[in-house]
Chain A
Amino acid sequence: EPEVTQTPSHQVTQMGQEVILRCVPISNHLYFYWYRQILGQKVEFLVSFYNNEISEKSEIFDDQFSVERPDGSNFTLKIRSTKLEDSAMYFCARGAGGGNNEQFFGPGTRLTVL
């Protein structure tokens, strides 16, 4: 571990600004997931990404959010116009595929929206 890294570890931004959070797999994985965790609360699913396409997304993942794999390696989560309530830890998770596709979380990015 870790099997994915995330950058930055902490991002501070002003409300209304765009942010891009990055997830970098260390080895080849097929499945990626983004989750968020507001301080002191449970982990919430945002979106899953399989074979370079969105597989599932939650109600939280509205038009303000997008995911990409721009270079076939890094995996990004973009929030177009941040709101105060977007302040949270954002975790990227990876799954290996196949029958034992356990999800392992990256170290997370703490996003603070002022």
Chain B
Amino acid sequence: GENVEQHPSTLSVQEGDSAVIKCTYSDSASNYFPWYKQELGKRPQLIIDIRSNVGEKKDQRIAVTLNKTAKHFSLHITETQPEDSAVYFCAASIRGSQGNLIFGKGTKLSVKP
């Protein structure tokens, strides 16, 4: 089955710097890749997603890139703010956004003011 690896497990940046989180997946049939942000004690919240027919997607300070050949995708956060501090999870699905999501282990991002 699908396996999603996520790096780094922790990431600390200064406010205003950029943060990059990387994920790799094993199943070349995967075609949907969402990113979720989870604050302490809260639910995972969808922040951005990308489908396999697109190489890059951007939403304000957040962008996601996908390299299907290498089977990896990345989350880029620019101009980080303290409120970006949270755990970020990548996920993959082989049945589009309807299919079950296989999650990575998460990255704890700390943005220092």
Closest 8 pairs (CB-CB, A-B): A45-B100, A101-B97, A105-B43, A43-B103, A42-B103, A101-B98, A42-B105, A105-B44
> In the bound complex, how far is the Cα of B42 from the Cα of A107, in angstroms?
7
Residue with the highest number of chain A CB atoms closer than 10 Å, among B91, B96, B97, B105: B97
Residue with the highest number of chain A CB atoms closer than 10 Å, among B42, B100, B103: B100
* A91 → chain B closest CB, angstroms: 6
> In the bound complex, how far is the Cα of B45 from the Cα of A108, in angstroms?
12
B residues less than 8 Å from A101 (CB atoms): 96-98
B residues less than 8 Å from A65 (CB atoms): none
Cβ-based interface call for B102 (8 A): yes
* A77 → chain B closest CB, angstroms: 15
Q: Please tell me the number of chain B residues within 8 Å of chain A, measured between CB atoms.
A: 22
B residues less than 8 Å from A35 (CB atoms): 101
Cβ-based interface call for A25 (8 A): no
B residues less than 8 Å from A48 (CB atoms): 99-100
* A49 → chain B closest CB, angstroms: 11
Inter-chain contact B100/A91, CB cutoff 8 Å: no
> In the bound complex, how far is the Cα of B100 from the Cα of A23, in angstroms?
17
Closest-by-CB residue of A relative to B95 is: A56
> In the bound complex, how far is the Cα of B95 from the Cα of A48, in angstroms?
12
